[in-house]
């Protein structure tokens, strides 16, 4: 692999380059340019680090929202339990009151 066709994004050997050259193809000799490799790696690394940092911030926001939602749900469940117990007490009190009215009525009828 001594040549690279920019048009096809393909590596070519010295035999294939002759058949491939022309027809609007941009063929260049393959050379390892360490400075270009370093530059490309630095670009990829900075993009990757940015993505990781964005993901970490998003994770923290989501965890915070999840915690707040959990707290809110827990508070609502507690409020419902308190309201339910209060309603049960009120119903039991009315039941006793109603039974006393019926008993008093029955006793008055005798």
- The H or E element spanning position 27 is strand 27-29
Contact 13, 3 (CB under 8 A): yes
| Per-residue pLDDT at 68 | 97
How confident is residue 25, by pLDDT bands cut at 50, 70 and 90?
Answer: confident
| Per-residue pLDDT at 36 | 82
The pTM score is 0.48
Antiparallel, parallel or unpaired: β 10-12 and 3-5: antiparallel
pLDDT (tens digit per residue) in 50-95: 999 999 999 999 999 999 999 999 999 999 999 999 999 999 999 9
| Per-residue pLDDT at 1 | 59
Residue ranges of domains in the chain: 1-31, 34-109
């Amino acid at each position: 692999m001594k040549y690279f066709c920019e048009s096809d994004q393909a590596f070519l050997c010295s035999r294939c380059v002759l058949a491939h050259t022309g027809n609007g193809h941009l063929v260049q000799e393959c050379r390892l340019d360490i400075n270009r490799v370093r530059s490309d790696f630095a670009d990829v690394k900075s993009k990757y680090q940015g993505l990781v940092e964005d993901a970490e911030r998003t994770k923290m926001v989501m965890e915070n929202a999840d915690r707040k939602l959990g707290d809110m749900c827990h508070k609502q469940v507690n409020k419902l339990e308190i309201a339910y117990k209060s309603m049960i007490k009120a119903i039991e009190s009315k039941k006793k009151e109603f039974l006393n009215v019926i008993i008093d009525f029955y006793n008055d009828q005798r």
